[in-house]
Structure 1
């Protein structure tokens, strides 16, 4: 089915010029995935006797981009794979690659973190500077990335937002993991992105806080004895009884799994939770803030 001319021109502009779809040469797994997908696309196209220019016309993208994707130099969009599957009669085999290809766009460190979160059955998360990434509204994410120095390109921002949004699938898992968050009061009061973005973020916290497996607590700024001065703490526990944790202010900030080191971070997180408002008090606190905005 031919693509409308105006739509096709829009796609050509977006796919040819938009940054953020290049392959990171330092990401070995990502390079391998994109190269494999490109090779399969080329083999399928040649098997049906279609020239690159004709194929590009059929799927609605430029010939130059077709060569880049087939050569493993460009990450194909999901809709590109859908159209290629249809045009080449692949029976769903090309479209099935979308999930792996989508993950290539996420920075490697984010993929590693998302993989651990996907396996965890219990998570304890303390944030003292920003609202934790899993709790952030999309508008808030973008506002944070917009003020980062040195600045992200538009494409890099899109990659980071997409990766962080994908991690939110943890709230849809079944069986649901137990998720405990402690947020410093200051992270809720900082109106990053302006008043409307701030309101949306507070609403997001109230939405997530309604989930039965989620606990959100606020640590008041006027707390005199503060056990969170070492910065962010994350404790993840897995089905086999193992765990991993990290803190900005302990063990050089690296993830640890040694039982002695784990106990230290678990103790700190437990003390922080004990100092924070209860979940009921925290919800009321956030509702009052929302009413004041």
Structure 2
């Protein structure tokens, strides 16, 4: 066998083959790439390696993949354009798919190797390959958070398969748990969002109903005599005042009574707090009185809604 020819940094050393070893397909591959440029040499040698199954299998995965990545990134496969197909029945278009097919591998396989190389690095990838780590596992490692992936790569570089497998299982389990927790939080968030949407939809429906009622009332008032409109409006306002007084004498008074019981049991004085609430109500009422320039009414013995004329 002839002495191996030295190639450039971008090419792969390929033993020269004597005439007896060259098959018809090898001759066809050699004829396809007849340029002497480094890029053509690289394509020629990769295709030649594909023809020599034993040599191609022994070729380092990382080195082989780095060369293939170089071909893809620099689109060197375009150099095949116009060359005859292996069967001699047509011409090549110079595509990445065609180039992978000439190597006897699928685009998915080679692209997966390139992705692993870029994500894991040459040293770690080479070590994992020797450990027998498959594509499915490497795909999982690529998807890990950066810090976990870095830790796994460092262990892989040591070549200790047992330590690597233990760490990988621990990290994958942790990552799966984090993913599950994240998915659960997402489900809870979606549930909260749906609940809020239902509440908003209900409030919107209530608001629309209120608007419709107000519109009906407005039209009804427009069709009523002035004295009847005044009477109805007074009744509505009196009802609001009655509701406010009922809340004060009911809920507010009940709350004050509970504070009084608590004060008797604990000795804590709530009078200042209660006085503050009363003062705020007084200020609110005084603001309304001032806004509408209302006179003082001396006879406040009976609420206005109990007045026979208003009733």
State the TM-score, normalized to the length of structure 1: 0.25
State the TM-score, normalized to the length of structure 2: 0.24
Pick 1 or 2: higher relative contact order, CA cutoff 8 A, min separation 6.
1
Q: Which has the higher helix share?
A: 2
